[in-house]
Structure 1
Amino acid sequence: MKLSTTTRATAVSAALAASLALAACGASNEDNGNDSGSGSDSAEQLSGTLVGAGASSQEAAMQGWRAGYSEVQSGVTVNYDPIGSGGGREQFLAGGTDFAGSDAALDEEELATAEERCGASGIFELPNYISPIAVVYNLEGVDELNLSPEVVAGIFNQQITTWNAPEIAEDNPDVELPDTAITPVNRSDESGTTENFTEYLVAAAGDAWPHEASGDWPVSGGEAAQGTSGVIQAVTAGQGTIGYADLSQAGDLGVAAIGVGEEFVAPSAEAAAAVVENSETLEGRGEYDFAIELARDTTESGNYPIVLVSYHVGCIEYEDQETADLVKDFIGYVISEDGQDAAAEAAGSAPISDALREQAQTAVDAITAGS
C-alpha cells in the first residue's frame, strides 16, 4: 500500500494557514459594487448584539470570525456559546438564540420545529466550516500511525484492546508498537462530531461497526468526556488513549493517517475539501437549505473522509429588522474571503469553494424581517 505519513496537528495547522488560497467571491463591499449589505467591507455600520450557540468544533473558527468582524463592525457584539451541536439546535429552535452552529444537519422533526420558529420562509443551513475530524492518540514512542477503517471501528467498538494487536501491526509494519492497553475516549454529550464520526464508521467500516450513526455515543464502557476540549484533555492526560476531535484542537497529540482505497491519508484541509467537492446536496429540503450528503465511503486518492462540515443555521425571516440585519451581515462576513481567511488562520479549516460561497450568498441575500 502507498503510505503517507502523519504529522503533528500544530504543524498541519501552521502549514495550512500559510498555504490557503481563497477565491474572491462572496460578500458585498464598497469596491466591488455588490450592494447586498453583507461582507467584510459593508458600507453600513451596525450596532447591537447577535447571539449564537452550538458546535464546539467551531469554537476556534468562531474566535477568528468574531475578531475579524469586530474590525469591520465595531458596534456589534457576537456572542457564541460552544455548548455542542445538539444544544445549539435546541436553543435556536426554541427561540433562545439568533443562529446555531451545528456539525449535523437538522433532521425531519427539527425541520418541522424550525418552520414553527421561522415561519413559512424557512431556514438557511450553510456549510460554512469544513475541517477534518482527526483520530488523535497519545502513545509514547509512536509518532506515526496508520489505521484502516475496520481497525478504527474495532478500537472504538472495544474489540481491539492493545496497541500491538495484529490488526494494528498489519497497518504499521515499520512501527514498534507497545503492548499498552488501548483506552478509547468518546464524547459524553450529544455531539455533531460524534454523529459525523459514526456516519463515517457506518459507511466505511462494514461489519466492524455494528451500530447506527448517532450524535450520542453508542458503545458503553470506555472513557467519556464533555465537549471537544474534554476529549483532548482526556487523551492528553492518559497513556495509550485514543479519541476523535476537530483537527484544529489536536495540539501536540499524535494524529493517525486513515486508510482510503490503497493509501493512508493524513487529515488536512485540502483532503477534507476534496471530499466535500465530491459530495452532493441533500434533496427535498428548503430553497436555502444546503445540507450535504458526504461521500464517506470514498476511495479517491487524496480524500480524507472523516470530515466535519459544520453549518450555520438561521431564519430567512426574522421578527425584527435589527436581528435580520445583524444575521445577514455577520453570516455574509463568515462566507466572505476575509471571513474564510480568518477561520483558516484560527482553526486551520478548509476554505469553502466558489460554488459554496455563491450558493450561500443567495441565502444571505434573502434574509429579511417580517412585515
Structure 2
Amino acid sequence: MNFKRNAAVLGVVAVGAMTLAACGSDNNTASSSGGSSVASDATCEGKTSLSAAGSSAQKNAMDNFVSTYISVCQEKGKDVKIAYNPTGSGDGRTQFIAKQIDFAGSDSAIKGDQATAAKDRCAGGDAWNLPLVFGPVAIAYNLDGVEGLTLNGEVLAKIFSGGITKWNDPAIVALNSGVDLPDEAITPIVRSDSSGTTDNFQQYLTTASNGAWTKGAGSDFVGGVGEGAKGSAGVAQAVAGSPGSITYVEKSFADQNKLTVAKIDSGAGAVELSEETAAKAIEGATFKSEGVGDLTLNLDSIFGTKAAGAYPIVLATYEIVCSTGYDADTSAAVKSFLTSAANEGQTGLSEQGYVPLPSNVQDKLNASIAAIG
C-alpha cells in the first residue's frame, strides 16, 4: 500500500484551524510537507473537535497526523480541531478512563484493572489498543574513536545492571573483532522519570538477554546502576557531554544530538539502526488476538526477532479507543481522524525518526478502525 502525499503545512495552526495543546520541552520540532492536495478515505464526519492526551514519544507524529487531517478536511469544506496534550502515557490512560478525552496515546497497552475500568467508560464495550506509531530506540554511546560498535541483548543487560563496567570487557570485545576498545569505565545514563521508553527497553532486555536481565520491566528504570537524566532530551544531552557513557533513547533524539549509535546483533549478524531495518522487525510482529479489533502486540515477536537485517528495539505507541460506547458523532470523528493518520498521515514520519507502518500492519489497523462502533 502506497502512502499518500502529505500536503498539510503547520502554518495552518497559525490561522486557528487547530487547537494543539502541547507542553514540556522534551519535544523535537515536527515537520510536514507542502504541495498538492491530499487524497484520503477520511470522511471528516462527526463532531468537529476531538481531544486526546498521552504519550510524549508520539507527539511529533501526532503533529503530523493533525496537520494532514486538517488539510484533508478543509478540502472537503470542513473545519476540524484536534487537541493532543503529550502529558505521558499513564496520564493519557487515566484521562481516557475518566471520559476527559476521546482517545489516549500510550506506549503500553491498556490492560488489567485499567482495561476493566475502561469498560465503564465505553458503556460496556472493550477498549482497543491500536498501534499507530512506531519509533526505534537507539543505543547511543560516547566513546572517542569507536564507531560501528556492536552489542547484543545479553551485553546490554549486563551493562545496565552493573555486570559489565568496562568498555574492554571480554564480552564486548568478542562482539567487536578488530576494534580497539579502551580500558575505560562505562557510565550508563538512564531515564530518571517514568517513561514508556524505559518500559519497552527493559522488556527488550527481558526478552533478548538469555536470562541476563532479571530485574523485570516497568516505566521506572530498575537496573540499579547509572546516572539519571529527565526525558529523552535529557539522556541524549547527558551522553553527548559524558565520555564513556551509553543510553537508550528514541532515534530522533540521538540524531538531533549527533550521537553515535550501536549496531545490535540478535544472532543473525550485526544490524545497523535504520528505517528499513526497524520496519523489518515490525513486519514480523504478531498480535495477541487475531482478526479485527484489539491489536495489542506480542512484543516478544519484535524484541526477540532473529530475522536477518531486523533491528529489534522498537517502541510501539497505541491509540486507545472505545470499540463501542461512543456517541455517533464522536465515533464518526475518531474513525475519520484515525483513518487519515493510518494512511496519508504516515508520510513524512521517517523525517522525524519514526517508522511508517508496514503494509501488513497498516491493513490490520485500517480494518480495526473501520470496526469502531
Say whether the fold is shared (TM-score over 0.5): yes
Check conservation: 1:132, 1:307, Cα contact below 8 A: yes
Q: Which residue of 1 aligns with 2:93?
A: 89
Asked if 1:133 corresponds to 2:137, the answer is yes
Asked if 1:265 corresponds to 2:271, the answer is yes
Asked if 1:277 corresponds to 2:256, the answer is no
Please give the root-mean-square deviation of Cα atoms over the aligned residues, in Å. 2.6
Asked if 1:23 corresponds to 2:2, the answer is yes
Unpaired runs of 5+ in structure 1?
1-21, 26-38
Q: How many residues align structurally?
A: 332
In structure 2, which of residues 163, 168, 175 is the aligned counterpart of residue 164 of structure 1?
168
Superposition pairs for residues 1-371 of structure 1, below 5 Å? 23=2, 40=40, 42=42, 44=44, 48-74=48-74, 75-251=79-255, 252-283=258-289, 288-294=293-299, 295=301, 296-336=303-343, 338-345=344-351, 347-368=352-373
Distance in 2, matches of 1:63 and 1:176, equals: 43
Residue-by-residue CA offset, 1:31-66 (whole Å, 9 max, x unaligned): xxxxxxxx8364547774322222222122222222
Check conservation: 1:60, 1:248, Cα contact below 8 A: no
Distance in 2, matches of 1:287 and 1:40, equals: 22
Tell me the CA shift for residue 319 of structure 1: 4.4
Distance in 2, matches of 1:184 and 1:83, equals: 26
Residue-by-residue CA offset, 1:192-225 (whole Å, 9 max, x unaligned): 2222211111111123211112222112342223
Q: Which residue of 2 aligns with 1:11?
A: none
Tell me the CA shift for residue 293 of structure 1: 0.4
Give the 3-state SS of the residue equivalent to 1:57 in structure 2. coil
Distance in 1, matches of 2:247 and 2:261, equals: 10
Tell me the CA shift for residue 241 of structure 1: 1.8
Structure 1 window deviating more from structure 2 (272-281 vs 125-134): it is 272-281
Tell me the CA shift for residue 287 of structure 1: 5.6
Tell me the CA shift for residue 132 of structure 1: 1.8
TM-score norm. by structure 2 comes to 0.80
Check conservation: 2:188, 2:226, Cα contact below 8 A: yes
Residue-by-residue CA offset, 1:72-129 (whole Å, 9 max, x unaligned): 2352232222233223222222223221112221222221111121122322211112
Check conservation: 2:3, 2:347, Cα contact below 8 A: no
Amino acid at match of 1:219: G
Distance in 2, matches of 1:237 and 1:52, equals: 36
TM-score norm. by structure 1 comes to 0.81
Distance in 2, matches of 1:85 and 1:237, equals: 29
Give the 3-state SS of the residue equivalent to 1:124 in structure 2. strand
Amino acid at match of 2:92: G
Tell me the CA shift for residue 318 of structure 1: 5.0
Distance in 2, matches of 1:165 and 1:81, equals: 44
Tell me the CA shift for residue 301 of structure 1: 0.7
Distance in 2, matches of 1:321 and 1:107, equals: 26
Q: Which residue of 2 aligns with 1:9?
A: none
Give the 3-state SS of the residue equivalent to 1:143 in structure 2. coil
Q: Which residue of 1 aligns with 2:13?
A: none
Distance change (3 Å), C-alpha of 1:228 and 1:326: farther
Check conservation: 1:86, 1:190, Cα contact below 8 A: no
Tell me the CA shift for residue 263 of structure 1: 0.4
Check conservation: 2:151, 2:264, Cα contact below 8 A: yes
Tell me the CA shift for residue 181 of structure 1: 2.4
Unpaired runs of 5+ in structure 2?
5-38
Q: Which has the higher contact order (CA 8 A, sep 6+)?
A: 1
Distance in 2, matches of 1:315 and 1:306, equals: 29
Residue-by-residue CA offset, 1:301-325 (whole Å, 9 max, x unaligned): 1111212122111123354444333
Give the 3-state SS of the residue equivalent to 1:52 in structure 2. strand
